[in-house]
Amino acid sequence: MVMKQFKAESKRLLELMIHSIYTHREIFLRELLSNSSDAIDKLYYKTLQDGDTGLNRDDFFIRIIPDKQARTLTIEDNGCGMTKEELENNLGVIAKSGSLNFKKDLEKTDEIEIIGQFGVGFYSAFMVSDCVTVESRAYGSDEAWCWQSKGVEGYTIGACEKENHGTKIVLSIKPSSEEESYEEFLEEHRIRSIVKKYSDYIRYPILMEVEKSRLKEGSDEERETYREEETLNSMVPIWRKNKNEITQEEYEQFYREKFYDYEAPLKVIHTSTEGVSTYNALLFIPAKAPYDYYTKEYEKGLQLYSNGVMIMEKCADLLPDYFSFVRGLVDSQDLSLNISREMLQHDRQLKLIEGRLEKKIKSELELMLKNDRENYEKFFSSFGLQLKYGIYSDFGQHKELLQDLLLFYSSSEKKPVTLKEYVSRMKEDQKDIYFVSGESVNRIEQLPQTELLREKGLEMLYLTDQVDEFALRMLHAYEEHEFKNVSSDDLGLETEEEKKAAEQQKEEYKDLLESVQKALDGKVKSVIVSQRLKSHPVCLSSEGAISLEMEKVLNAMPNAEKVQAQRVLELNPSHPVFNVLKKLQQSNPEKLSEYTQLLYTQALLIEGLPIEDPVAFSNQICNLMAE
Ligand code: ADP
Ligand code: MG
């Protein structure tokens, strides 16, 4: 028979499997049993939709047959089976779901440790087997095919006989060496314990013939052994069990296997409801955002089961976008199985469930925020961005729901705080909530614009994510306290006297300010005597709806029309440089113009904005140094 080649990436995974370390090998059984269960699900779902297939739920089974003499382990199911093409396509390449995640990590690391925690799929058979034979007959087809492989060299495929639909996988168990033993995988008690550990909740019976003993007939001493088929798994899915029957470990194990994460979830939410809609939901909040979370590739959604049968792998309608990080499943008996995707979208039950889950997730997050701050901060550093997008999107529709889940870094607390916490600490006469934007907490701390508030002991929120300022603009106010940008908005912090003094200064330096603005030749909307600067000579602020930070963000978007904030150059009248400017105005207007450029460029640098001509700037400074 012709030997066919595996795809390159499959080869790589195969090699890893063949050389996997001892402790992980047992999971091959979990993988093969899950595949059988999936295959039965597919067929069962089909029978429910078509109606007249003559198959009953009770007809389905998975069977394990260890054979010590032949040194084979057989796993057999009467699921949907595979056609010749399916055998080639499904077993010749690294498949979808689990294995794909694995593949991504494979590129990043050679860490063989991860195998134990991933759904590595069919190829895991090669961890214990040196020859894998798959006989399969697709449901509804009258031909059967046999796929066989001894490892990386490739596989063969040919016609074979098979009486019923389904798949039979025969593993030739590797020979044991001095260091390694594979015999255990042929032992009944070992197989039984692996099934219990990983596959207990599989909803179809996993059968195995086991040896039992009984009293011989007519004797009350002598015993005889006999063989009987037994169901190894309890068949109750974990989400249908009582909460108090499930350990944290079991939840975590289930989560890892089902959702291919190697970290335990940050939070498990197990909830069931009866009444208007009856459902069980088992939800997880991951500890970290998946690598593709903030990309278009990420698909949100929960698995949807109808009475224990999976009808959809990712039901997006069950989760609002802002909670798209939640993984898990919903099992409801109120959903019709014969429902199409389009109908599902308009399903009233589904809407009800979504609404309830949304409330539940929110209240669980609030609880975590209240009782387990450390974990909440972890959660927020992974998924806070998504909540902030949630505030900003849909024209601010969800801001009420989400605003109390937000955290921002506080200038006075030196850690993330909620808006509620900020407001509770506000000074007696403080009306507004102050914020500053910048690249990082460090950069913001240096911003000259923050000096005034620091001096007055006013708390500021530091915004370091691009979406932050947009989200706050969308919120507009929190508990009637408006948000004010420390570097651009009019903060109204001056006393009457200060205001008067400012007016006077404005008059007094009118000519100077005009000359400076002229020298900048349209680059700034206005030049003013600053009220916020204390020790720095100069800063930039903005007028109008677009701040400097928003300008950066908007202009960084691909294909976006360029916008520009209306820039305002602020000069500090109590800084010695200001006196220099004053003198130059009379004695040397040319130099005034030059210094103005220098100051403006410095202000740009402080803001983290691009400067127009770095070489000219550098030359100017050198000239000054040489003077
Ligand atoms: P995954 O289960 O994540 O898709 P696997 O590597 O475990 O990846 O399996 C690859 C594919 O092979 C499955 O998606 C399925 O289409 C097919 N397959 C594996 N085992 C069986 C089986 N027992 N019956 C029918 N199809 C199977
Ligand atoms: Mg699989």
What are the pLDDT digits (tens) for 202-258?
889 999 999 999 999 888 889 999 999 999 998 888 999 899 999 999 999 889 878
Residue 410 has what pLDDT?
97
Residue 434 has what pLDDT?
96
Residue 298 has what pLDDT?
92
Q: What is the CATH number of domain 8-231?
A: 3.30.565.10
Q: What is the pTM (predicted TM-score) of this model?
A: 0.72
Q: For residue 140, what are the contacts with CB-CB under 8 A and spacing of at least 6?
A: 165
Tokens in use for 308? 């224990």
Q: Determine whether the shortest distance from the Cβ of 92 to ligand 1 is under 6 A.
A: no
- Ligand 2 mean position, distance from CA 312 (Å): 16
Q: Tell me the best of 90, 91, 136, 139 to mutate to test the pocket of ligand 1, counting ligand atoms within 8 Å of each CB and taking the most.
A: 90
Q: Does 489 have pLDDT greater than 80?
A: no
Residue 336 has what pLDDT?
64
Confidence of residue 400 (pLDDT cuts 50, 70, 90): very high
- 496-626: CATH homologous superfamily? Heat shock protein 90, C-terminal domain (1.20.120.790)
First to last CA, the chain: 88
Residue 21 has what pLDDT?
58
Q: Determine whether the shortest distance from the Cβ of 320 to ligand 1 is under 6 A.
A: no
Mean pLDDT of 434-438: 94
Confidence of residue 102 (pLDDT cuts 50, 70, 90): very low
Q: Which atom of ligand 1 is nearest to the CA of 32?
A: 20
Residue 408 has what pLDDT?
97
Top-confidence residue, 496 or 580? 580
- Ligand 2 mean position, distance from CA 311 (Å): 17
Residue 579 has what pLDDT?
93
Q: Does 111 have pLDDT greater than 80?
A: no
Top-confidence residue, 502 or 339? 502
Confidence of residue 109 (pLDDT cuts 50, 70, 90): very low
Q: Determine whether the shortest distance from the Cβ of 79 to ligand 1 is under 6 A.
A: yes
Residue 99 has what pLDDT?
44
User: Which one-letter amino acid corresponds to residue 423?
Assistant: V
pLDDT in tens, 523-557: 999 999 988 888 899 999 988 888 888 888 888 77
CA dihedral 282, 283, 286, 289 (to 10 degrees): 130
On the question of a common fold for 238-375 and 407-485, the answer reads no
Instruction: Name which of 252, 265, 277 is nearest 335 in CA terms.
Output: 277
pLDDT in tens, 565-601: 899 999 999 999 999 999 999 899 999 999 999 999 9
What percentage of the chain has pLDDT greater than the value 90?
A: 58
Q: Determine whether the shortest distance from the Cβ of 90 to ligand 1 is under 6 A.
A: yes
Query: Across the beta sheet with 408-410, what order do the strands follow?
Result: 416-417, 408-410, 460-463, 433-437, 481-485, 477-478
Q: Does 328 have pLDDT greater than 90?
A: yes
Give the start-to-end residue ranges of the domains of the chain.
Answer: 8-231, 238-375, 407-485, 496-626
- Protein residue whose Cα sits closest to atom 18 of ligand 1: 35
Q: Determine whether the shortest distance from the Cβ of 35 to ligand 1 is under 6 A.
A: yes
- Ligand 1 mean position, distance from CA 90 (Å): 6
Instruction: Name which of 435, 403, 434, 396 is nearest 420 in CA terms.
Output: 403
Mean pLDDT of 486-507: 85
Q: What string of DSSP letters covers 400-468?
A: HHHGGG--EEETTTSSEE-HHHHHHT--TT--SEEEEE-SSHHHHHH-GGGHHHHHTT--EEEE-SHHH
Q: Which atom of ligand 1 is nearest to the CA of 81?
A: 25
Q: Of the ligands numbered here, which is closest to the C-alpha atom of 90?
A: 1
**Residue given tokens 């901060």 in the structure block:** 377
Q: Does 284 have pLDDT greater than 90?
A: yes
Tokens in use for 620? 């100017």
Helix, coil or strand: residue 562: coil
Q: Which atom of ligand 1 is nearest to the CA of 31?
A: 7
Q: Does 499 have pLDDT greater than 50?
A: yes
Contact call for residues 248 and 299 (beta carbons, < 8 A)? no
Q: Determine whether the shortest distance from the Cβ of 31 to ligand 1 is under 6 A.
A: yes
Helix, coil or strand: residue 542: strand
Residue 98 has what pLDDT?
42
Q: Tell me the best of 16, 31, 32, 38 to mutate to test the pocket of ligand 1, counting ligand atoms within 8 Å of each CB and taking the most.
A: 38
Q: For residue 236, what are the contacts with CB-CB under 8 A and spacing of at least 6?
A: 201
- Protein residue whose Cα sits closest to atom 21 of ligand 1: 35
Which secondary structure element, helix H or strand E, spans residue 155, and what is its range?
strand 155-160
Q: Determine whether the shortest distance from the Cβ of 119 to ligand 1 is under 6 A.
A: yes
Confidence of residue 346 (pLDDT cuts 50, 70, 90): low
Q: How far apart are CA 257 and CA 570, in angstroms?
A: 59
Confidence of residue 313 (pLDDT cuts 50, 70, 90): confident
Q: Which atom of ligand 1 is nearest to the CA of 100?
A: 3
Architecture of domain 238-375: 2-Layer Sandwich (3.30)
Q: How far apart are CA 451 and CA 444, in angstroms?
A: 11
Any alpha helices (H) in 164-287, and if so which ranges? 188-199, 248-259
Q: How far apart are CA 478 and CA 203, in angstroms?
A: 50
Residue 248 has what pLDDT?
95
- Protein residue whose Cα sits closest to atom 19 of ligand 1: 35
Residue 229 has what pLDDT?
96
CATH topology of domain 407-485: Rossmann fold (3.40.50)
The rounded mean pLDDT for the chain is 88
Mean pLDDT of 395-423: 96
Which range, of 40-54, 230-244, 288-302, averages the lowest pLDDT?
40-54
- Ligand 1 mean position, distance from CA 189 (Å): 26
Confidence of residue 345 (pLDDT cuts 50, 70, 90): low
Confidence of residue 339 (pLDDT cuts 50, 70, 90): low
**Phi then psi dihedrals of residue 218, to 5 deg:** 80, 0
Q: How far apart are CA 186 and CA 70, in angstroms?
A: 10
Tokens in use for 367? 């609880």
Q: Does 607 have pLDDT greater than 70?
A: yes
Q: How far apart are CA 532 and CA 548, in angstroms?
A: 17
**Upper half-sphere CA count for residue 602 (Cβ side, 13 Å):** 17
Mean pLDDT of 418-447: 94
